[in-house]
Amino acid sequence: MSDLKEHLTFTPIESIKPGVDRVRKGFHSTQRSHSLQFRLNQLRNFYFALSDNIDALSDALLADFRRSVVETKFLEIGGGLKQVLHMMSKLEEFAKPEKVIDIPSTMQNQPVFIEKIPLGVILIISPFNFPLILSIGAIAGAIAAGNAIVFKPSELTPRCSEIFTKILSDALDPDFFFAVNGGIEETTELLNQKFDKIMYTGNARVGKIIAQKAAETLTPVILELGGKSPVIVLDDIEPENIPMIARRIAWGRFMNCGQTCIAVDYVLAPESIKDALVKEMVRIIKEEFYPQVKSGHADYTHIISQRAFNRITGMIDNSKGNIVVGGDRDENTCYIHPTIIDNIDWDDSTMEDEIFGPLLPVISYTDLKKEIKELTSRHDCPLNQYIFTKNPNRSENKDLDFILKSVRSGAAMVNDVVMTVTLSNAPFGGVGQSGYGSYHGKFSYRAFSHERTFIEETLATDGHLSWRYPSVTAEKEKLTAKDIPNDMVIPSESVWFKRYDDVPPAPRNDKKSGANSWNDFISRLFK
C-alpha cells in the first residue's frame, strides 16, 4: 500500500485539544442538542451527506483495498442509510420518558419518570474493515441521543477516511462534530482528552489500551472486538442440506476477504459428513463464487496491509493441515485466494488467534461434548456462533441447547451466518473477550444516554412523609419489619413462596395501589 499521508491529511496534533474543547463547549453552552428537532435535522444532514456521495465513497474503498463497489454499496452504504432512517423514524419513541408504575404508596400522587439525557461528548474510533457502516450506526446513535461527537476513522483506508470526514464535517454542526484523521500519535493525543463515553471497534490488543486509559478518568467504554466465531455443524444434517450449508458458510467466511469481525472463523463438522461438506465448499468457491478470481479482481476484496498479509500467509504456511483449495497469493497487491484447510487440530497455527482473512480451517469431531469443552477452554466468548442442524427448535434439540448453554457469545444464529449485524433494533456487541456494551437502534440510543430517575414531589403537604422523620416513638418501637405491609414498598407485590420448597412463579396481581394497607399502617403509627 502507498504512503498513507499521500491520500489522508493528518490532523495536526496541536489542534486536537482545541477541537475537543470546541464541541464540549458547544454541548454545554448552547444546549441545542437537547432539542429533538435539532437532532432530527442533524440526522437528516447526515443522511444526505451519505446518499449524495455513494459513488465517491465506493470508489475510495475500491482504491484503498480493492473492495468491490457493489459490496460497498450493498453492505455498507445501503445498510448505513437504513440505520439512519430507523433512528430518525423512532427518535420520538426512544426519547420519551418512561413512567415508573410500581412505586411506594407514598409516591402514588407524584410523577416518577426515567428520562434519557445526553452523556456529553462521545469519542467514536472506527475500524478499516467496514469503515462506513460501523461508523454510521455509532454516529447516528450518538446524534440521536443528543451528544457531541469526536470521530476518528481508520488511517488504513486513507481515501475513504479523507472523503468521509470531509463530507461529515461539512454536513454536521461544527459545535457538535469534530473529526480527527491520523495514526497512533493522533489517537494517543485523543485519549489524553476527557470524554463522556468512548466507543471503539477493532482488535482486543488496542481495546485493552483504550479501556486502561479510559479508566484513569472513569470514562465508560463500549468495546466491539471480535474473536474466533465458530460454525458448529450437528450430525443430524441431511445430505440434501449440505450444498445450502456450504454456500452459507463460504459466504460468511470469504465476504470482504474474511476481514469481518463476525465472519465464520472455523468449522467444527461431524466426521460422518465433514468430507462431503468440504467438497461442496470447494466446489462453490471454484464454480460459483470465485471462478475467475485473481490478483486485482474487481469483485474480490484484498488484504488491507502488508503486515496483515504476512500474518495470514504465515498461518497458511505453518499449518499442518491439508490445503484443499486456495493458498495462492500476490505479495505486491496483498491478494490471497480463498483458502480452505482440512484436517486441522486445535493446536494448529490457524487456531491460535482470530484469522481476519480468507482462510477457513475445518476440524472434524466424533464427540460433540468433548469438542465444545475444547472450544470453550481455548476460544470462549466469540462475537458470534453459528449452528447448523436439521431441527432448529431449541426445546426439542438437546445438542443445540447444550451448545447454546455452553458457548457464551455476543450473538447466535441457527442455520445461517453473519446476519445478526443487519438488525436495526437488536443489540449488537460482544461478551467477555469479544468486548462489552452493545448498540444498534434503541440500544444505540440507550448506550449514548444516561437514564436518570426524575421525581416531581409536591410542597403542598408533608403529612404523608411524617412517618420517616425522627424521633422514635413508643408506637414505632413496638412495630417490627413484618408489621409493615409489603405494598408499602411496591404495591403489587407480596410474599407468595414458602421457606423451603421450590419457589413457584409469582401470581398475577393487577392491584394498582396499596393505599389502603399503607393508610392502615400510617394510622397505627400516628394515632
Q: Among 160-174, 261-275, 382-396, 482-496, where is mean pLDDT lowest?
A: 482-496
Spatial neighbors of 145 by CB under 8 A, at least 6 apart, are: 116, 118, 119, 444, 445, 447, 448, 449
Every domain of the chain with CATH number 3.40.605.10 lies at 21-225+441-452
- Check if 76 is active-site: no
Res 337 pLDDT > 70: yes
Average pLDDT over residues 271-278: 98
Model's pTM, two decimal places? 0.91
Average pLDDT over residues 343-361: 97
Secondary structure of residue 176 in the 3-state scheme: coil
pLDDT in tens, 8-36: 999 999 999 999 999 999 999 999 999 99
The CA–CA distances, whole Å, from 226 to 85, 153, 231, 375 equal 27, 18, 15, 15
CA dihedral 493, 494, 498, 504 (to 10 degrees): -30
Secondary structure of residue 269 in the 3-state scheme: strand
pLDDT in tens, 504-521: 988 875 554 444 554 554
Q: Give the domain 21-225+441-452 fold.
A: Aldehyde Dehydrogenase; Chain A, domain 1 (3.40.605)
Catalytic residue among 261, 334, 354, 381: 261
Catalytic residue among 224, 280, 354, 371: 224
pLDDT for 469 equals 82
Average pLDDT over residues 65-71: 90
Spatial neighbors of 459 by CB under 8 A, at least 6 apart, are: none
| Secondary structure (H, E, C), 231-249 | EEECCCCCHHHHHHHHHHH
d(CA 358, CA 371) in angstroms, rounded, equals 24
Q: Give the domain 230-422 fold.
A: Aldehyde Dehydrogenase; Chain A, domain 2 (3.40.309)
d(CA 344, CA 340) in angstroms, rounded, equals 10
pLDDT for 479 equals 64
- Check if 371 is active-site: no
Res 93 pLDDT > 60: yes
Every domain of the chain with CATH number 3.40.309.10 lies at 230-422
- Computed over every residue of the chain, the mean pLDDT equals 92
